[in-house]
Amino acid sequence: MFGRGRTGGVLSAPAECNVAVLGTTGSGKSALTVKFLTKRFITEYDPNLGNLSEWGNPGLGGATGWAQRIGLASNTRTQDTYSTEEIVDQQPVVVKVMDTADQDGPVDCERYLTWASAFLVVYSIAERHTFEGCQSYLDILALHTRGEAPQPPLILLGNKVDMERYRQVSRCQGVELASRYGCLFFEVSACLDFLSVQQVFHEAVREVRRE
Ligand code: GDP
Ligand code: MG
């Protein structure tokens, strides 16, 4: 997925890294995507909206999509894919993020399996069923990437650490699941600091560069 960066001493277009964000509905995929793209937690835009579903389908990017509501430029998005120019370790890269919205586990997977250079599988530490939902995504990724060399980076991401009081999935359980599938593991919150969310996406870029 990565271009060369420089050709003949002339700076070429920045390399690209395609990150697919997967996981059960409600785990916070859209909130994390918005945080990474805008540094904001989405409900900051309208405190009366408790649930992102009330923002409409983010995938549409149309009149009811969150991307338009929060003013993301139309040239940075198509359907449910958004792009941002980043500098990771002093090198430019265009990070494209696909905020998937499967309703009942992995359905339309071919689309992101063939597109992505890295995968984030998200759950909420405060909602056990979202952790259990990760298994089917990890199984599909393992099946799809079997025999591929190098393996595309997988990151298991426990979201909503601000909800520590309601934690239903221990950090140990996250680490254990990640190690079983050869994933990196992080815990973050889409409504706390931006840098720890940014770090996850940047780590995906670093892993792809290592390939
Ligand atoms: P998706 O279905 O995976 O895209 O999940 P959403 O991004 O729509 O988030 C589901 C709900 O969880 C929404 O009400 C969000 O505001 C909320 N949410 C997302 N991330 C966080 C977080 O880090 N902390 C808290 N407290 N709520 C979050
Ligand atoms: Mg969503």
ipTM of this complex? 0.99
Name every protein residue with a CB atom under 6 angstroms from any ligand 1 atom.
23, 25-31, 43, 51-52, 159-160, 162-163, 189-191
pLDDT tens sequence for the chain (211 residues)? 454 333 444 455 569 999 999 999 999 999 999 999 988 887 654 444 444 444 544 444 433 456 666 666 666 665 688 999 999 999 999 999 999 987 777 777 888 999 999 999 999 999 999 999 999 999 999 998 888 888 899 999 999 999 999 999 999 999 999 999 999 999 999 999 999 999 999 999 999 998 8
What tens digit of pLDDT does each residue of 115-130 get? 999 999 999 999 999 9
Which numbered atom of ligand 1 lies nearest the CA of 33? 7
- If one residue of 21, 22, 24, 27 were mutated to test the ligand 1 pocket, choosing by the most ligand atoms within 8 A of its CB, it would be 27
DSSP, residue by residue, 22-58: EE-TTSSHHHHHHHHHHSS-GGGG-TT--SGGGG--T
- By C-alpha distance, which of 97, 95, 52 is closest to 70? 52
Kindly give the distance from the C-alpha atom of residue 26 to the centroid of ligand 1, in angstroms, as a whole number. 6
